[in-house]
Amino acid sequence: GENVEQHPSTLSVQEGDSAVIKCTYSDSASNYFPWYKQELGKRPQLIIDIRSNVGEKKDQRIAVTLNKTAKHFSLHITETQPEDSAVYFCAASTYKYIFGTGTRLKVLA
């Protein structure tokens, strides 16, 4: 069946450094790739997304890149801040969304 692999499972960076999280998907029909941030005890919330006809998208300190040939996409966070500390999930979607297992990001002050 469909599968999304996400790496790393935990990531610690110093404040101001960059963080990169990578995902690989199996269903070549996937056409929508969102990234969600989940803080402790709260619901996941969208931070950025990309469609299959776009290779890169940026929103201030956050960017996502997509390589459809290799079936992988990545989240890049620059100039990290303590409030970026959370669990991040990637997902790949056709008519159903399959999520990765999450990355716990810790930004050390």
Partner 1 sequence: NAGVTQTPKFQVLKTGQSMTLQCAQDMNHEYMSWYRQDPGMGLRLIHYSVGAGITDQGEVPNGYNVSRSTTEDFPLRLLSAAPSQTSVYFCASSYSTGGVYNEQFFGPGTRLTVL
Q: Which residues are at the interface with partner 1 (CB under 8 A)? A: 1, 6, 9, 31-32, 34, 43-46, 49, 51, 89, 91, 93, 95-102
Rounded to the nearest whole angstrom, what is the least distance from the CB of residue 4 to partner 1 in the complex? 8
- Residue 35 CB-half CA count within 13 A: 27
Rounded to the nearest whole angstrom, what is the least distance from the CB of residue 109 to partner 1 in the complex? 26
Question: For partner 1, which is the closer residue by CB, 34 or 64?
Answer: 34
The residues, ordered by sequence, that sit 6+ positions from 54 with a Cβ below 8 Å of its Cβ are 66
Question: For partner 1, which is the closer residue by CB, 33 or 82?
Answer: 33
The residues, ordered by sequence, that sit 6+ positions from 95 with a Cβ below 8 Å of its Cβ are none
Pairwise CA distance, residues 28 & 46, whole Å? 23
Rounded to the nearest whole angstrom, what is the least distance from the CB of residue 88 to partner 1 in the complex? 11
